[in-house]
Structure 1
Amino acid sequence: MKCLIENDQLIKLPEVNGWPRYQLTSEFLDVSVVRLANVKITDNVKIPRQSTVAAHRHVSSLKEKLSRYRSEMLCAIGESEEYSALCNEHPDLRESAQDLYNQARERSATLLGKMKALENMLSQYAG
């Protein structure tokens, strides 16, 4: 979630009854935005020219996948945050929740890598 906040895709709202609240920004919801500054394309990378219809189909498919991964990542981050909160509230659950917490964190890291790959591919089509 910190990464999403740093990239202006998520904002933290005031807590309600001790529970953190977050809101997605238009930056997150607009999957057509691609950060070219984060992508390094060397001169030897060639993007094959394709028909406009085929390129549009690829871009559309990549955007759908990126959107799905973003949703899954928010779920994984929320899950890990909840395990952490449960361990703080009930220290006796820490041992049984630690594996689940670690799995959720690993899942969010994997999803972040997948999202980065899709954003890189989208930036090639945008260029």
Structure 2
Amino acid sequence: MDTNQLKNLVRVGIVSSVNGAACRARVTFPDKDNLVSDELPVLQIGANGTEGYHVPEVGTTVLCLFLPNPAGNGMASGFILGAYYTKSKSPSETDESVRSVKFPDGSFVKYDHGTITINAASKIILKAPVININ
């Protein structure tokens, strides 16, 4: 593998379109004259019995990993590893033991030292055969 192929294995780009049904997205690479990838799968926390689901929003900066391509057929076989914070977009949490998911409408779920807070912009729906509230 030559050095040109190696430097193209890990790339930073910007999500340009999302296919939610397939959990894939296309990524534009500004440093490559705005070359756009094929639809790339987005890595999840699980995809079998335990499943995760998250696709990055259009405009999100992401890190991508591409498989070696000795035939030189472009950026087809790869994955979106995930998004990350930058100097211009810092995290909304600063405590390393806090876990949270925040949504564009202001809704969030937050774990903070044993306390779980759910804040919904619209409504909360709970479904279960039995729900106990203390």
User: Scaled by the length of structure 2, what TM-score is found?
Assistant: 0.21
Instruction: Determine which structure has the larger strand proportion and give its number.
Output: 2
User: Scaled by the length of structure 1, what TM-score is found?
Assistant: 0.22
Bigger relative contact order (CA 8 A; separation at least 6): 1
Instruction: Determine which structure has the larger helix proportion and give its number.
Output: 1
